[in-house]
Amino acid sequence: MSGLPSLTDTSLVLDGRVAVLTFRRHDVRNALTSTEIVTDIVATLNWANNNSAVSVVILTGEGTAFSAGGNIKTMSEHTKAPAFELQGDYKRDIQRIPRALQSTGVPVIAAVNGAAIGAGFDLANMCDIRIGSTDARFCETFVNLGIVPAIGGAWFLQRLVGYQRAAEITLTGRMISAAEALQLGILMEVTQPDALLSRAHEIAAAIAAKPPLAVRYAKQLLKLAQSQPLAEHLEVCSAIQALCHKTEDHAEALQAFLEKRPGDYKGR
């Protein structure tokens, strides 16, 4: 797939094999509702899935927020529609994000530059790797507004921090600092604000330097392992491993190892 996707409220840069998608609606703190950010995220992930030149996607925000989630100023409009219509709206709109991220073949890194609130917190938790600046903060704010996590927040959060801590975070709706997020395992690392993107690029580059097909297959196995019994998972592992042994990149990796040089991988 050639060229970049057409986007509205974000910008996309491809640097080597690393794609960086930046949310650019600082006027509404990069809210996922009342903007085109959801559509842009889904379009970018679909593009990355089908582009063999992409090995990693980084998500980050412009301004003081990673994403404020829902736009509270427009949220009251939901009360005007019947519940069954609202349910359909969620399925057709913002719930596209967890489905797209769960099926994305390339690793996705969240570089959390600031506030990740509500659905913005959930979005970060859907990513494979999360790093944050000291300005990052997190809150599962839904109960504070009399609503619930509607895009899978309860599913993702407890897989990161365990049921008990996820219950406490979700049911109190309290704010979490970058330091606490690191301690809880929500963030893998915390950096100074001006070092966040360079560190995200460093992690992404380390992944992008590996054989591209192996990276995609390894991520697929990690996702499958979340729900498969071991016996079923081992069957899939053996099948994928057999495919990997037949790739040109595997042969190149072996040769590069023997010759003590970096591999030159083609994704085939």
Q: Which pLDDT tens digits describe the chain residue by residue (268 residues)?
A: 458 999 999 999 999 999 999 999 999 999 998 899 999 999 999 999 999 999 999 999 999 999 998 777 666 666 666 776 776 676 778 889 999 999 999 999 999 999 999 999 999 999 999 999 999 999 999 999 999 998 999 999 999 999 999 999 999 999 999 999 999 999 999 999 999 999 999 999 999 999 999 999 999 999 999 999 999 999 999 999 999 999 999 999 999 999 999 999 988 8
- pTM, entire model: 0.93
Assigned fold of 212-259: Lyase 2-enoyl-coa Hydratase; Chain  A, domain 2 (1.10.12)
Cβ 224 vs Cβ 130: under 8 Å: no
pLDDT digits (tens, 9 = 90+) for 232-253: 999 999 999 999 999 999 999 9
Query: For residue 6, what is the DSSP state?
Result: P
* Residue closest to 5 by CA, chosen among 100, 115, 130, 114: 100
Architecture of domain 10-208: Alpha-Beta Complex (3.90)
Closest CA to 49 of 119, 110, 100: 100
How is the chain split into domains, by residue range? 10-208, 212-259
The pLDDT assigned to 246 comes to 95
Q: CATH topology of 10-208 equal to that of 212-259? A: no
Distant-in-sequence contacts of 35-38, Cβ < 8 A, 24+ apart: 35/9, 35/71, 36/7, 36/8, 36/9, 36/10, 37/9, 37/10, 37/67, 38/93, 38/94, 38/96, 38/97
pLDDT at 191: 98
Question: What pLDDT, on a 0 to 100 scale, did the predictor assign at position 90?
Answer: 65
Cβ neighbours of residue 134 under 8 Å, at least 6 residues apart?
A: 178, 179, 190, 191, 192, 193
What's the pLDDT at 1?
Answer: 46
Task: Give the pLDDT score at 83.
Answer: 73
